[in-house]
Chains A and B, each alone.
Chain A
């Protein structure tokens, strides 16, 4: 992330557009969140077929820019483009894999899953309206948990991020206050808190700071052994962040009806649904310049859908369900002109 930032900055300041090596390898750039699974898929794919994938995890926004500039064969983003934006840019979009975002806390004596919050309370904490852990709103949701009379340190992302986009999208859906004062975007004007870079930055900060709260991709919470918080979902049920809960939210999504697969998986209906579920997307040109490269890229994605599910689950990602994969493959055939 750091190095890519410096290169992007250096390239820009010198007025150069950084061309990306276009050898036999498939080239892509974008979101950092799916990078571990793309890297793993690429590794296996190379072993199986001999074809490599060169994926630069430079961030969703930068990925969109790269694909628009046609310097890569595909772009990747956590924040989907709307059908209108897709049409304007001549791009085709589909979801590749899904994952969950979890709030994490560091409070002495509170174990993972012990604390439960609802959307409004979570929003009020991140708005700075709830300042202390023994606030009545938190106590009401957690009558049996002993909470300290300590100030809450909010930890959030300092860089623009697809994780932030999905998190703030959820808060906007559940809190009118949040929607009007902050809104949903990859980088927002945070009312309170310290900014940390990347999911690992937030995880590290929450791990270090007593009485803090942050939000990270599920895998980061698990790897860093952080104390996750349970949430009340749209159906008013208490849910824990598990693969089953992410899948329940994902199953709810009506991909078939969404133009350009523009579906945001936060705050889905259903008793089991985890409210902070998110998908990550791939972008390709409908009429690619380099048709051979695009064919190769699609072969890779097809292979990943067919054989990559287990690898995704190992890394705590949720594979796309089979019917959705069928839809996506139909989209490829229909919309991407590789011949």
Chain B
């Protein structure tokens, strides 16, 4: 019996050799693949490092000249003799406040759209709304800027801002936030444009993660007599919290760095004013407006502004990571 079979069976050494050859070939291609992937990953680190280093080099004269005062000065006088007085507080304030207002508007609306699309929307309406939201993300920012400049700004200045100013005139604190005069170009206008721009980010990510909720969970909740609101609030959102926060942070990152649209509508004034209807500026708008014509310390200060934006965005992302981690550990208790 065994002799009959031994004709077909390859000797153990031979088979091992053949297998080794195949494995070696596979290993070789694996090593190449691994190295290519590694190189791609390291390139990103290298680029990031290069950007940070060149920003620091470019910003060094300003760091030397102003030090920490740069962060607390509101004046921006690039041609003052003998030395310009330049401070970042105005643009930092404008960047943070415009992003904050944009988030306050865009997060509830964006999540609302996503909930409607995944839970409530009749089937035939889903696609048109989804496509419309995604198209919003595809519009170049300069178009938003032009729209904010030509359409939204004048409309707000005539039909919204005066009414808000009158409405809040007798409310303490808020009457300073909503104070006149109404202006076409303002922090408020920029915030609204930003809100519309980041809406699709929040909506499409939230919609995608909402659809990952296992139907059985929702069905069980509905079966137990939950209302749609209860299902969304107690099942869908807790299940997808991490993804939703990720989407919101991505949107915040975009809002902090958005340049052209904001430059069009914010009014580019290096001032901190209590009213959100007053012109202001953001870090990226300041750089976009002034970089080409700048020189010396002025240019260095603009690069330092860029470095600050970099740090600011980094802090936002790091904070998001930290929050997500805490959430995960809480869930895993």
Contact = CB atoms under 8 A, between A and B. Distances in A.
Interface of A: 1-2, 4-6, 8-9, 12-15, 58-62, 64-65, 151, 153, 158-161, 183, 185-190, 193-197, 204-205, 208-209
B292 A5 contact: yes
B55 A13 contact: yes
Contacts of B51: 13
A194 B292 contact: no
B149 interface: yes
Contacts, number: 118
B80 interface: yes
Given A13-B54, A185-B78, A187-B78, A194 B268 contact: yes
Contacts of A153: 181, 183-184
A5 B77 contact: no
Interface string B150-171: 1001100100000000000000
A196 B268 contact: yes
A12 to B, nearest CB: 7
A195 B292 contact: no
Contact of A62 (B54, B142, B154, B292): B292
A159 B279 contact: no
B293 A62 contact: yes
B260 interface: yes
6 contacts: A13-B58, A61-B292, A159-B290, A187-B294, A188-B78, A208-B149
B326 interface: no
A60 B292 CA distance: 9
B209 interface: no
Contact of B303 (A1, A12, A161, A189): A12
A8 B268 contact: no
B60 interface: no
Among all A-B residue pairs, the 5 with the closest Cβ atoms? A160-B293, A195-B268, A185-B79, A158-B268, A189-B77
Nearest to A64: B295
Contacts of B306: 9, 13
For this complex, into which size category does the number of interface residues on chain B fall? 35 or more
A288 B290 CA distance: 30
A65 B295 contact: yes
Contacts of A64: 295
B78 A194 contact: no
A160 B294 contact: yes
Contact of A209 (B85, B184, B295): B184
Contacts of A8: 291-292
Nearest to A190: B269
Contact of B154 (A13, A151, A188, A208): A208
Nearest to A165: B79
Contact of B293 (A60, A183, A208, A209): A60
Contact of A161 (B149, B270, B293): B293
Given A195-B279, A208-B150, A189 B75 contact: yes
Given A159-B290, A159-B292, 8 more contacts: A8-B291, A14-B50, A62-B292, A64-B295, A65-B295, A158-B289, A185-B79, A208-B153
B287 interface: yes
Interface string B292-310: 1111001000010010000
Nearest to B47: A14
Contact of A183 (B80, B260, B264): B80
Contact of A151 (B57, B142, B150, B181): B181
Nearest to B299: A12
A15 B54 contact: yes
Nearest to A209: B184
A78 to B, nearest CB: 10
Contacts of B157: 209
Contacts of B58: 12-13
Contacts of B57: 15
A163 to B, nearest CB: 11
Contacts of B77: 188-189
Given A13-B55, A13-B58, A187 B267 contact: no
A257 B312 CA distance: 54
B185 A194 contact: yes
Given A12-B303, A190-B269, A59 B292 contact: yes
A226 to B, nearest CB: 16
B292 A4 contact: yes
Given A9-B287, A209-B184, A58 B79 contact: no
B263 interface: yes
Given A195-B279, A196-B268, A58 B292 contact: yes
A161 B289 CA distance: 10
Contacts of A15: 50, 54, 57
B147 interface: no
A32 B23 CA distance: 65
A272 B219 CA distance: 85
Given A13-B55, A13-B58, A160 B185 contact: no
A61 B294 contact: yes
A40 B229 CA distance: 65
Interface in B117-157: 142, 149-150, 153-154, 157
B79 A205 contact: no
A14 B291 CA distance: 15
Most buried by A among B55, B142, B263: B263
